[in-house]
Amino acid sequence: MIPDPTDRPYAGALTFGLGLHVDQPNRYDGLRLVVGVVGPWSGAEETQRWVHRRIGSDEPQGWDAQLHNEPILNLGYEHRRKYRLAGVADGWSVEAIPAVALALGNLLTYVQLGGQVRVGYKIPQDFGTTFLRGMSELPPPRPSESSSAWESLGVNLHGGIGGSLVLHDVTLDGNTFKDSPSVDKRFAVPIAGGGIGIGNRRFLATFSYSLLGKEFEGQQTSATFGALTVSYFF
């Protein structure tokens, strides 16, 4: 029996990704290959049960109705441009970073458009933060011209909006080749987010908060995500 046929199906995914980045001063292109499996072989049920036992929570229910085992093969591409709207690289400045992303595969197939604006002091020479459903990581900042790490210390605020046209999402549409639980997905999904970053030419710490619009009919609330990323550069 399906626990709630109007809610997102139970689905666990175990994936491995390989990325290729082409990083130029004001242009970024990235390719990503994702392989893995969705279904019981992902180990999601066992992982959740293990965590619940460790924290003393109730035994999770509903995994008997999860998606069937299915291999995953997905390709992704992302393109970004960077424009300095005001200021200088080694001081206060304002930047705009428009982006477009595409994905094709049985995990996710979509087109995504969006962009970020960054305002701050000594903004890192990179291409901003990752978008939901975009590249999972981006190249590190280019080296600063400052003579010491402390002289390169900077801080910035970032914010962005975008949207996805989702043609396929296995966690909503269900298995590709077998009957399985599914829901009626929304093809257009808005995305918004913002955060703060601080760092120098040795480290960078960024906190981002993102809002993903409703993804399927009957979804009660939008999804929110918070992420803290700390990087050290050798």
pLDDT tens per residue across all 234 residues of the chain: 677 888 899 999 999 999 999 989 899 999 999 999 999 999 999 999 999 999 988 888 889 889 999 999 999 999 999 999 999 988 999 999 999 999 999 999 999 999 999 999 999 889 988 876 776 777 777 766 655 656 678 999 999 999 999 999 999 999 998 999 999 999 999 999 999 999 887 888 999 999 999 999 999 889 898 989 898 877
**1 belongs to a structural domain:** no
**121 belongs to a structural domain:** yes
CATH number for the domain harbouring residue 34: 2.40.128.140
Query: Looking at residue 148, what is its pLDDT?
Result: 61
Question: Nearest to residue 150, comparing CAs of 122, 129, 128, 127?
Answer: 122
**133 belongs to a structural domain:** yes
Q: How far is CA 88 from CA 74, 80, 92, 148, in A?
A: 39, 20, 6, 19
The count of structural domains within the chain is 1
**67 belongs to a structural domain:** yes
DSSP state of 185: B
- The SS3 call for residue 172 is helix
Tell me the DSSP string of 82-100: -EEEEE-TTSEEEEEEEEE
**6 belongs to a structural domain:** no
Query: Looking at residue 1, what is its pLDDT?
Result: 66
Query: Looking at residue 60, what is its pLDDT?
Result: 85
Query: Looking at residue 141, what is its pLDDT?
Result: 79
Question: Nearest to residue 112, comparing CAs of 171, 195, 30, 189?
Answer: 189
Apex 124 CA angle, 133 and 146, nearest 5: 160
User: Cβ neighbours of residue 184 under 8 Å, at least 6 residues apart?
Assistant: 216, 217, 218
pTM attached to this predicted model: 0.87
Retrieve residue 113's tokens.
Answer: 């458009």
Query: Looking at residue 146, what is its pLDDT?
Result: 56
**31 belongs to a structural domain:** yes
Query: Looking at residue 77, what is its pLDDT?
Result: 95
**33 belongs to a structural domain:** yes
Apex 83 CA angle, 19 and 148, nearest 5: 75
Query: Looking at residue 129, what is its pLDDT?
Result: 87
Instruction: With residue 128 as reference, give the H or E element that holds it.
Output: none
Boundaries of domain holding 118: 13-232
**8 belongs to a structural domain:** no
Distance CA 176, CA 74 (A): 13
Distance CA 113, CA 145 (A): 33
Q: With contact defined as beta carbons under 8 Å apart, do 8 and 66 qualify?
A: no
Q: With contact defined as beta carbons under 8 Å apart, do 120 and 92 qualify?
A: yes
DSSP state of 217: T
Query: Looking at residue 104, what is its pLDDT?
Result: 97
